[in-house]
Amino acid sequence: MSNSYLVMNKPEKTHPKCRCLIVDDEPLARDVIRRYCDKLPVLELVGECSNAIEAFMYLQSNEIHLIFLDIRMPELLGTELMQSLQNPPKVIFTTAYKEYAWDGYELDAVDYLLKPIRFDRFLKAINKALPGYENDLLNDESLEFERKSGVDSIYLRIDRRQVRIVLDDILYVEGAKDYIKIFTQDKMHLCRQTISSFENMVNKNEFVRIHRSFIVSINKIKSYTHELVEINKKELPIGKFYLNHFLKTLDSSIA
C-alpha cells in the first residue's frame, strides 16, 4: 500500500462516522466491500440491500451518507435508483462492466470502482468521498492486517461469481480480447476482463508482462531466453516491445 495514504500521527479529535449502505445483488461482492469497510474506523456500515428497490425503501427511513452501489442489477439499475432520489447521498458506483462508467459519472458519482475491487483503489475512492478524513481512515490493527494479507489475493468475476484467487498460485495469465485465462498449477480460470486491467491489479515486482497476450509470475519462471519464458514446462513468447522491461524487472527482482 502506498505510504501516501498513511498518516502516523492522528489528531486527538476525529470526524463523526460516515454511515454507509451496500447495494449489490451478488453476496460475494457485498462480502468484499463489507470486509473493506471493517478496516476503516471512520466508516459505519449500517445496512446491506440485494437490489435497488429494497435500497429505495431503506433510504426512505434511514440516514445514509455514502452508498456503495452496483449498477447492473435486476428490475432496477443502480443509476435508475439514483435518478429516482430527490436528495441522494454520496455514491461510489461498483460494477464489473466498464461500459457503465460514463453513466455513473454523469450522475456526479464520487467514484467508479471496477470489480474485482482492490483495497488500495477502494481507499482512494473513500479519500474522494471524505476529503479531510485522511487521518481517521486506518487504525494500526487494520494497517497491519493489510500489510500481511491485503495483497495476497484478488477477487475476480468468474461464472457470475466473485472468486478469490491466491496470487502466489498463479503461474501465468493469457489474454484473449475481453477475456483472460488464469493458469495455476492445477486449474485454469476464465474471466471476463482485459489483460491490461489485470496487470494494473497486481504487484509489478511479482508479475511482469512479457507479451501483449501474456503476464507471468516472476517467481514461477524456470528459464528464459530473449525469445521465450519457460513456466511449468510451458514456453511463452516474449514480445520485442516487452523484452527490455522484462529484463529490467528480472534484474530488480534479483538485486
Average pLDDT over residues 106-128: 83
pLDDT per residue over 150-165, tens digit each?
457 777 778 877 787 8
The closest alpha carbon to 179, from 154, 165, 163, 159, belongs to: 159
Q: Provide the 8-state DSSP code for 181.
A: E
Average pLDDT over residues 48-60: 94
Q: What is the mean pLDDT of the chain?
A: 82
Average pLDDT over residues 126-139: 68
143 pLDDT more than 50: no
The closest alpha carbon to 123, from 221, 215, 41, belongs to: 41
Contact yes or no for 78/97 (Cβ under 8 A): no
pLDDT per residue over 65-93, tens digit each?
999 999 888 888 888 998 888 888 999 99
Say if domain 165-254 classifies as CATH 3.40.50.300.
no
Cell output for 178: 475481453
> What is the C-alpha separation between 189 and 166, in angstroms, rounded?
12
Top pLDDT among 159 and 94 is at 94
138 pLDDT more than 70: no
> What is the C-alpha separation between 88 and 68, in angstroms, rounded?
12
Q: Does the model's pTM come out above 0.75? A: no
| Choice among 20-24, 81-85, 158-162, 183-187 with the minimum mean pLDDT | 158-162
Average pLDDT over residues 177-205: 87
Q: Where are the domains of the chain?
A: 3-149, 165-254
Average pLDDT over residues 17-36: 91
CATH number of 3-149: 3.40.50.2300
